[in-house]
């Protein structure tokens, strides 16, 4: 594993560590060759962030690269409203708040703090149904912070050769199931 961990890999690792391998394998290929409709629609939701056209306000950071030295994380921050001190991670549709979503926010939070910003609020935004899920700051949820740090340690020490998938449901929802030698479907 590389020394830096991508923020998106935190969520992927929880879903299935092998998916990170396939993300890297497919790399720069056109996404429509391996992604299903939900992933393609999710990419479309981030278009205004990636192109920095979501807001014209200069106090709203959008799609900025970030690095967290404390946890050695790299990635992008969807939205940070400097005036409101509010960090937002956008998802196409949130049906359940997964730990991986929260861990992405934690990584973004720690990156912003290291850059000298003050973050007072964090939220997940579900684009399709316009729902907001407020997320506790890491300092206000010690159990989740501990899970975040444990996941990072597990990702750093992960050995692909010894991994055995035991969750068929995850395989049924994986875009890489047909290519994976550990798939249960």
State the pLDDT confidence band at 169, using cuts at 50, 70 and 90.
Answer: confident
pTM: 0.81
The architecture of the domain spanning 5-172 is Alpha-Beta Complex (3.90)
CA dihedral 163, 169, 172, 173 (to 10 degrees): -90
pLDDT top residue among 72 and 2: 72
DSSP 95: S
Domain edges within the chain: 5-172
Q: What is the dihedral of CA 48, 52, 53, 59, to 10 degrees?
A: 120
Contacts of 29 (CB under 8 A, 6+ apart): none
- DSSP notation for 107-141: HHHHHHHHTT----EEEEEETTTTEEEEE--GGG-
- Provide the pLDDT confidence category of residue 156 given band limits of 50, 70 and 90: very high
For the stretch 18-70, pLDDT in tens is 888 887 777 655 454 444 555 455 455 555 555 555 566 678 899 899 999 99
- Checking if the pLDDT of 136 tops 80, the result is yes
Cα within 13 Å of Cα(115), Cβ side: 18
pLDDT at 27: 66
């Amino acid at each position: 594993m590389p020394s830096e961990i991508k923020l998106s890999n935190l969520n992927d690792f929880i879903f299935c560590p092998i998916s990170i391998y396939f993300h890297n394998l497919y790399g720069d290929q056109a996404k429509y060759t391996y992604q299903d409709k939900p992933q393609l629609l999710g990419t479309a939701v981030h278009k205004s962030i990636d192109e920095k056209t979501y807001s014209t306000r200069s106090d709203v950071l959008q799609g900025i690269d970030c690095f967290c030295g404390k946890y050695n994380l790299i990635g992008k921050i969807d939205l940070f409203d400097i005036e409101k001190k509010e960090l937002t991670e956008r998802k196409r549709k949130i049906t359940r708040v997964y730990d991986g979503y929260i861990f992405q926010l934690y990584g973004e939070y720690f990156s912003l703090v290291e850059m000298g910003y003050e973050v007072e609020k964090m939220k997940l935004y579900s684009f399709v149904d316009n729902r907001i899920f407020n997320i506790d700051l890491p300092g206000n949820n010690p159990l989740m912070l501990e899970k975040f740090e444990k996941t990072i340690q597990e990702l750093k020490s992960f050995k692909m050769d010894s991994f055995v998938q035991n969750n068929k449901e995850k395989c049924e929802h994986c875009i890489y199931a047909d290519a994976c030698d550990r798939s249960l479907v």
